[in-house]
Structure 1
Amino acid sequence: MVMKIAENKTLDSALRALQLIFAIIVMGTDGYAIHAFRGHTAYVHFKFGNFYAYYGVPDAWGFLMFCAGWTVLTVIFHLIAGVRFADRALIGYLRVAVEAVAVLSWLAGFIAVAVQISTDICSAGKHSCGSLTAATVFSGLEWLLFIVTVARTAMLVFNSSRKPKNSTTKPGVDV
């Protein structure tokens, strides 16, 4: 029963399509938040001197954009690897590794951005807060989708019985 769910191509295609759609949504909302934030310069006065400090876009917002781009590459990799190299053991292990990197990246990305929503970086007067909240929600959903697909991929790769390749040499030929 479990292997039937793991081998269901329709379910896999639907999950990959949702991952791609959510990644595009995160790219759009996070990209708008980055564009609307527009860093600012502050004049800082100290006892020992003065300087201008530039406060740019937080790094976590850019990391969330990286996660969305990584998801697009992951979906493309799984489409190509699932069709052409389905019987190769190394490709199966690579599929699990790519999924694991994506799961950990989305977890780190959406937590890092969610922590910054309640700070003064994203106060009520900023225009980017609504889209950043939407990006955080969709990135959390993307993480949940990757939890499901990494479990399915791991079950498929580690529970499958691969047949060894036959030798190309003839039995009576001296080597």
Structure 2
Amino acid sequence: MAMNIAENKTLDYALRALQLIFAIIVMGTDGYAIHAFHGHTVYVHFKFGNFYAYYGVPDAWGFLMFCAGWTVLTVAFHLIAGIRFADRALMGYLRVAVEAVAVLSWLAGFIAVAVQISTETCSAGKNSCGLLTAATVFGALEWLLFIVTAARTVMLVFNSSRKLKTSTTKSDADV
């Protein structure tokens, strides 16, 4: 039963389509939040001197954008690898590695942005906070989708019914 679920192409295409749609939503909401965020300059006074510090867009917001871009590449890789190189063992291991990187990057991405939502970086007076909340929610859903597809990919690669080819040469005992 589990093998039939892992080999279901229709379910795989539906999950990949959802991953692509959620990645586009995250790109749009996070991109607009980055655009709408206005950095600010702070005058800092130290004993050794004074300087102006500029606080721009937090790095976590850009990392979430990277995760969405990585998802587009991942979906394209899995569609091409599933069609052209489905019977290659090395390609199966590469598919598992790409899924693992995607799972870990989405986990780190949505948690890093979720932590910053409640800080002064995203206060209630700024209009990008609602967009960041939406991007974080869709990032968490994207992570769950990648957990499902990673489990399916691992089951498909490591539980495959490929037979090892046996040697057709005669043994030395007959000589």
> Smaller-chain TM-score range?
over 0.9
2:10 — aligned with what?
Answer: 10
2:172 — aligned with what?
Answer: none
Q: Report SS of the residue matched to 1:101.
A: helix
2:146 — aligned with what?
Answer: 146
Q: Report SS of the residue matched to 2:101.
A: helix
1:114 — aligned with what?
Answer: 114
1:20 — aligned with what?
Answer: 20
Q: Report SS of the residue matched to 2:98.
A: helix
Alignment of 1:25-104 (within 5 A): 25-104=25-104
Deviation per residue, 1:56-114 (Å, 9 max, x gap):
10000000000000000000000000000000000000000000000000000000000
- The one-letter amino acid paired with 2:6 is A
The alpha-carbon deviation at position 166 of structure 1 amounts to 8.7
The alpha-carbon deviation at position 40 of structure 1 amounts to 1.4
CA distance in 1, matches of 2:166, 2:74: 31
The 10-residue stretch of structure 1 (154-163 or 74-83) with the greater mean CA deviation from structure 2: 154-163
- Structure 1 segments unaligned to the other structure (5+ residues): none
- The one-letter amino acid paired with 1:104 is L
The alpha-carbon distance between structure 1 residues 125 and 22, as it changes in their structure 2 partners (threshold 3 A), is same
When normalised by structure 1's length, the TM-score is: 0.93
CA distance in 1, matches of 2:46, 2:15: 54
Q: Report SS of the residue matched to 1:43.
A: strand
Q: Report SS of the residue matched to 2:54.
A: strand
- The one-letter amino acid paired with 2:3 is M
- Between the two proteins, the alignment pairs up a number of residues equal to 170
The alpha-carbon deviation at position 47 of structure 1 amounts to 2.6
Q: Report SS of the residue matched to 2:44.
A: strand
When normalised by structure 2's length, the TM-score is: 0.93
- The one-letter amino acid paired with 2:50 is N
**Aligned residues with identical type, % of pairs:** 88
- The one-letter amino acid paired with 1:2 is A
1:160 — aligned with what?
Answer: 160
CA distance in 2, matches of 1:26, 1:38: 20
